Amino acid sequence: MPPLHLTPAFRALPSDDQRHHLLDKLTAFDIRTDGPILQDLYDQILQRYACDPVLPLVQDQDSLITTGIPAIDQDLLRGGIPVGDVCEIVGTADSGQILLLHHLCAATLLRRHQSKVVYVDATARFSSHMLLGCLHTQHQLHTAGSLVSEDTYLERLSHVAVAEVHHLLQIITAFKTTSDADYDQDRVFVFDGLVGALLSPHFNGTSSGHANIITVGRALRALANIPHHTVICSNTTLPRPSTQRFKVNTQLDSVSCPQVKPLLGLEWTYVADTTLLLSAAADNTGDIPPSDSCSHPTVSYSHWQQCEVLKSDRTACHRVVRFRLPLSKTLS
């Protein structure tokens, strides 16, 4: 078998820079380039190198969960939330966080026909009326015709109420057991209000309180690690004194809303793959971004909101987009 630099596939690379770059990468990983190498290794490396790195592979629509808000999905998240991730949505009181969670559920039910949504509710903020409005709105904006049967979508959504941490852990264990029995089922878990309602009583500085917080975080990550699972969890904010900053290099300092910080801070950062901060925009005027330019006579819009990436391994942190949440006129 010829050395790598003599193979036709390698010589077909369009420039010397790309050839040298590939050789440097192989050398860095201690992969031999001057001796017998399996042909399938050649093919795999050259095929990966010939395509754009990572992004087209990640943006397969079947592997992305959308929020239903194009400005967030396309302009901020490069298509949506990857299946298998934990996405944390931090929101101020006027951010429209709960409405965004309902839009995410509606968009998932409408666009992913085999997916089930499980809404784990610690604060009784889930509203079937709001979800129906979001279903109609998402359908009107992105699909021609009227919504044929609401029950077809709603039967794939489950609502679970929780009241304390140990009950939550039992529920997550039950979810994992169910997943073992139905391995290929695509599921999106929305955990709403865990931080403020369930975990804030454990901010007492004791080792047991800290252990409960860490245990819940690990349980959420373990749930997302099961194939075909995605976890969305909400977090709330605390006011941050203007003189206070974390003493370590952290992404939790916001550019768009520097006066607040996530209620669960540094000890919670390992849980989420992506952390978004929602807040009301200071300026309530402006044109609708091109990605939000869809309109429909039965849809109105909220006041301007903004969303910032605090943590992500797929897109630049501290990017900010403005958007308006669609509202259904027919069900308002």
Q: pLDDT at position 263, please?
A: 83
304 is written with which tokens?
């301007």
Pair (139, 230) in one structural domain: yes
Task: Find the range with the poorest average confidence among 69-73, 77-81, 259-263.
Answer: 259-263
DSSP 196: I
Q: pLDDT at position 101, please?
A: 97
Using alpha carbons, list the distances in angstroms from residue 12 to 4, 6, 40, 51, 159. Answer: 12, 10, 17, 14, 55
Of residues 264 and 214, more confidence is placed in: 214
Task: Find the range with the poorest average confidence among 29-38, 190-199, 279-288.
Answer: 29-38
Q: What are the DSSP calls for 81-123, one per residue?
A: EETT-EEEEEE-TTS-HHHHHHHHHHHHHHH-TT-EEEEEESS
Mean pLDDT of all residues in the chain?
A: 79
Pair (70, 205) in one structural domain: yes
Pair (91, 111) in one structural domain: yes
CATH code: domain of residue 320 = 3.40.50.300
Pair (267, 322) in one structural domain: yes
Q: pLDDT at position 115, please?
A: 92
Pair (72, 187) in one structural domain: yes
Residue 228, φ and ψ in degrees, nearest 5: 75, 15
- Residue-wise pLDDT for 295-310, tens only, equals 555 667 788 999 999 9
Pair (82, 162) in one structural domain: yes
The domain tally of the chain equals: 2
Pair (44, 73) in one structural domain: no
Pair (147, 13) in one structural domain: no
- Report the DSSP beta bridge partners of residue 238: 261
Share of residues in the chain with pLDDT > 90 (%):
39
Pair (40, 166) in one structural domain: no
Q: pLDDT at position 58, please?
A: 45
Instruction: Please say whether the beta carbons of 77 and 315 come within 8 A.
Output: yes
Q: What are the DSSP calls for 37-68, one per residue?
A: --HHHHHHHHHHHHSPSSHHHHT-GGGEE--S
Q: Which residues fall within 8 angstroms of residue 24, CB to CB, at 6 or more apart?
A: none
Q: Which residues fall within 8 angstroms of residue 136, CB to CB, at 6 or more apart?
A: 147, 298, 328, 330, 331
Instruction: Please say whether the beta carbons of 276 and 241 come within 8 A.
Output: no
Beta strand 229-235 with 237-239: parallel, antiparallel or unpaired?
unpaired
Distance CA 190, CA 106 (A): 12
Of residues 289 and 61, more confidence is placed in: 61
Pair (231, 282) in one structural domain: yes
Q: pLDDT at position 97, please?
A: 95
Using alpha carbons, list the distances in angstroms from residue 298 to 88, 270, 312, 326. Answer: 31, 41, 35, 10
Q: Give first-to-last CA distance, the chain, whole Å.
A: 70
Task: Find the range with the poorest average confidence among 86-95, 173-182, 195-204, 219-228.
Answer: 195-204
Pair (24, 117) in one structural domain: no
Instruction: Please say whether the beta carbons of 137 and 328 come within 8 A.
Output: yes
Q: Is the confidence at residue 46, as pLDDT, over 80?
A: no
E strand or H helix at 276, and its extent? strand 274-280
Pair (207, 310) in one structural domain: yes
226: containing domain? 59-328
Q: Is the confidence at residue 212, as pLDDT, over 90?
A: no
**Mean pLDDT along residues 203-221:** 83
